[in-house]
Structure 1
Amino acid sequence: MPMAELEQVFRRYDANGDGKISAEELASVLRALGAPLGPGEVRRMMDEMDSDRDGFVDLSEFAAFHCGPTPAHGGKGGDAKDQEAASEAELREAFRMYDADSNGKISARELHRVLRQLGDKCSVADCSRMIRSVDADGDGCVNFDEFKKMMGGGGGRR
């Protein structure tokens, strides 16, 4: 994901604009997305992202988490196949949050619902335009391959 997009996502999480994401801010966004939050889930996610252990996730930690662990970001690098599998699993989880009816496709209405929950003021028509920009098969929805391509994970049709 390009850094500009990461910064935009980061700002959505950083509700108070202080340049860092707290556990409360993370939980708020996840709840708005309808993510099931089990006991300790937010803490586990914070622990995974908060490499300097200050209790917050700053932009560099957020970027390192979303771009995969690298030696430059305090990670071990890991096996490329393991990282790819983990990334695919994260993308599938994100896709499921958008795909409210679990039909394997994200419609404009489903996209609109999630974006509204995140505070975006877009219309369903705006969401339809967004979908058209990545809808490789022309069905008016975003399937997982299109979602993966849109999120920078490759795949999809060219």
Structure 2
Amino acid sequence: MALIRYPNRVLNCHGKVELTMEEFKKWLKKFDEDGDGRISVEELREAIHATGGWFCKRKAKRVLKAVDTNSDGFIDESEMPKLVLFAQKQFGLRVVGF
């Protein structure tokens, strides 16, 4: 299990990094290389790699497909809650206020 590396964050009593939704979005925005406000499969892979995790492109595509409710091939603002649920299960973090 990998953790999102976020400076000056302490683990909560359950051993999870706790972020607000805005902090999570700000962190994820760092990987939006083309600045279009959406996360592509490659940008998602980069974000996962930054946590210390490793996803092959095929697995990243499956994650994207699972959270991409409008099937446009990207994760946008409206799909962020589904991505948060995935990140909470997979990366030992807790996002509050979403």
TM-score range, shorter chain: 0.5 to 0.7
Q: Per the alignment, do residues 126 and 106 of structure 1 end up closer, same or farther by CA in structure 2, a change over 3 Å counting?
A: same
TM-score by length of 2: 0.66
Q: What is the Cα deviation at residue 124 of structure 1? A: 1.1
Asked if 1:60 corresponds to 2:7, the answer is no
Q: Percent identity?
A: 20
Kept in 2, the 8 Å contact 1:95–1:147? The answer is: no
CA apart distance, 1:89 = 2.4
Equivalent residue, structure 1, for 2:70: 137
Larger relative contact order (CA 8 Å, sep ≥ 6):
2
Q: What code does the residue aligned with 1:133 have?
A: A
> Looking at CA atoms only, which structure, 1 or 2, has the larger radius of gyration?
1
| TM-aligned CA distance change 1:90 to 1:62, over 3 Å | farther
| Counterpart position of 1:121 | 54
Return closer, same or farther for 1:91/1:65 CA change in 2, 3 Å cut-off.
Answer: closer
TM-score (norm 1): 0.44
Structure 2's unaligned 5+ residue stretches are 86-97
Check conservation: 1:108, 1:124, Cα contact below 8 A: yes
2:3 alignment partner, one of 12, 21, 30: 12
Structure 1 residues 92 and 119, CA gap change in structure 2 (3 angstroms): closer
Structure that is richer in helix per residue: 1
Residue 88 and residue 64 in structure 1: after superposition, are their counterparts in 2 closer, same or farther (change >3 A)? closer
**Match status 1:109 vs 2:42:** yes
Question: Pick from 99, 120, 137: which aligns with 2:32?
Answer: 99
Root-mean-square deviation (CA, aligned residues, Å) is 2.7
Q: Structure 1 residue 151: deviation in Å? A: 1.4
Closer/same/farther in 2, CA of residues 64 and 135 from structure 1, 3 Å limit: closer
Counterpart residue identity of residue 12, structure 1: L
SS of equivalent to 2:33: coil
Q: Structure 1: where are the runs of 5+ without partners?
A: 1-7, 14-28, 31-41, 47-56, 67-86, 154-158
Count of aligned positions: 86
